[in-house]
Amino acid sequence: MRWLPAFVSALVASTTGVLAVKKSTEERFASFHTKALASSAVKLSDASFRELTAAPRDYSVAVLLNALDSRYGCQMCREFQPEWDLLAKSWTKGDKKAESRLIFATLDFSDGRDVFMSFGLQTAPVVFYYPPTTGPHAAKSRDPIRYDFVNGFQSAEQMHAWIARNTPNRPSPPVQRPINYLKWIVTTTILLGGGTSAFVAWPYVLPVLQNRNVWAAVSLISILVFTSGQMFNHIRKVPYVGVDQRGGLTYFAAGFQNQFGMETQFVAAMYGVLAFSAMCLAIKVPRIADPKVQNVAVFAWAGILFFMYSFLLSIFRVKNAGYPFALPPFM
């Protein structure tokens, strides 16, 4: 009786195989296209993925392999999914007669482990484009073209450009983003509310706007922010703190061209203290009428200045190993 399971499995395999072959490429396209018209991108499973991408096909398939489940902690998967759906929807809607013969599909990791395994995928999301193997647009190679998200998040428009490049001489309906009514309403409300409150609060706001101290503070803080490398953090998206080999936290990045977020704030604070003590020495101290208080103030600010500058130099020596200058006490 050992042949029975084997026979059954062979039978099942042959029937599914026969079914897949029997269903002509035309029928398969029609059925998936109706599905696509109903929703945005067709949700696939292992089996339907195999069916859709089976070898003789006169249509193309663009399939997104994604891992939406929060267990995988894939931020970009969740960000890209709505973009993909939007692209699929506007393409399918814009090409109702299906002249481009392109099916958009999505396969999530939880529905299609085997497919992920067979591709040996380590990362998600990945987009595969299956060119047609027969028909007027047949490509030379039947292998899918792979799109990795090496440059980070891509918008629907950027994805559209990639797909349109792979489907030349076919209609490529542009991405149509739906009008975000909520956003418009919120913006209008905020604008009107802001205008009204500005009008009402104008007598109180005006003195603040005309206050020199406020402007001085704003200017100095922005200068400190810019000169302490905050724009570098913004552009390079550096981490706030680093981790060293033993798993501990490091606050100062090694190397002249690197920095951490916290490091720059620290540097900005040091610059601020130095500038403030210089300002106090230049402006405040000579205005103190009491000689004793003035004396104390002079030495206090001079001490802070010296101490801080010495510390700054020692920090700089961490960044630039060959730097020869130092002041006591941080030699």
Partner 1 sequence: MSADLLQAVADVGKGKGTRSLLRVVILCLIAGAAIASRLFSVIRFESIIHEFDPWFNFRATKYLVANGFYNFWDWFDDRTWHPLGRVTGGTLYPGLMVTSGVIYHALRALNIPVDIRNICVLLAPAFSGLTAFASYLLTNEMTTTPSAGLLAAIFMGIAPGYISRSVAGSYDNEAIAIFLLVFTFYLWIKALKQGSMLWGAMCALFYGYMVASWGGYAFITCLLPLHSFVLICMGRYSTRLYVAYTTWYALGTLASMQIPFVGFLPVKTSEHMPALGIFGFLQLLGFLDYVRSAIPGRQFQTFLWLFAGGIFGVGLGGLVLATSLGFIAPWSGRFYSLWDTGYAKIHIPIIASVSEHQPTAWPAFFFDLNMLIWLFPAGVYLCFQQLADEHVFIVVYALFGSYFAGVMVRLMLTLTPVVCVAAAMAMSSLFDTYLVAKAPKPEDHVADEASEGAAKKAAKTGLKSTSRPVVGVYSYFAKGTIVSGLTLYLLLFVLHCTWVTSNAYSSPSVVLASKMPDGSQHIIDDYREAYQWLRQNTADDAKIMSWWDYGYQIGGMADRPTLVDNNTWNNTHIATVGKAMSSREEVSYPIMRQHEVDYVLVVFGGLLGYSGDDINKFLWMVRIAEGIWPDEVKERDFFTPRGEYRVDGEASEAMKNSLMYKMSYYNYNMLFPPGQAQDRVRGVRLPEVGPTLSTLDEAFTSENWIIRIFKVKDLDRFGRDHGQAMAFERGIKKKAPRKKGPRTLRVD
Q: Which residues in this chain contact partner 1 in the complex, by CB under 8 A?
A: 148, 150-151, 162, 165, 212-213, 215-216, 219-220, 222-224, 226-232, 234-236, 256-259, 263-264, 267, 270-272, 274-276, 278-279, 281-291, 294-295, 298-299, 302, 305-306, 309, 312, 316, 319-320, 322, 324-325, 327
8 or 300: whose CB is closer to partner 1? 300
**Shortest approach of partner 1 to residue 262 CB, angstroms?**
12
Minimum CB distance to partner 1, residue 268 (Å) = 8
Q: For partner 1, give the closer residue by CB, 181 or 325.
A: 325
Closest approach, Cβ 99 to partner 1, in A, equals 23
Q: Of 30 and 274, which CB lies nearer to partner 1 in the complex structure? A: 274
State in angstroms the smallest separation of the CB of 173 from partner 1. 21
* Residue number with CB closer to partner 1 (96 or 234): 234
- Shortest Cβ 320–partner 1 spacing (Å): 6
Please say which residue, 108 or 263, places its beta carbon nearer to partner 1.
263
Respond yes or no on whether the N-terminal peptide bond of residue 329 is cis (omega within 30° of 0): yes
Nearer to partner 1, 49 or 271 (CB): 271
Residue 66 CB, nearest approach to partner 1 (Å):
19
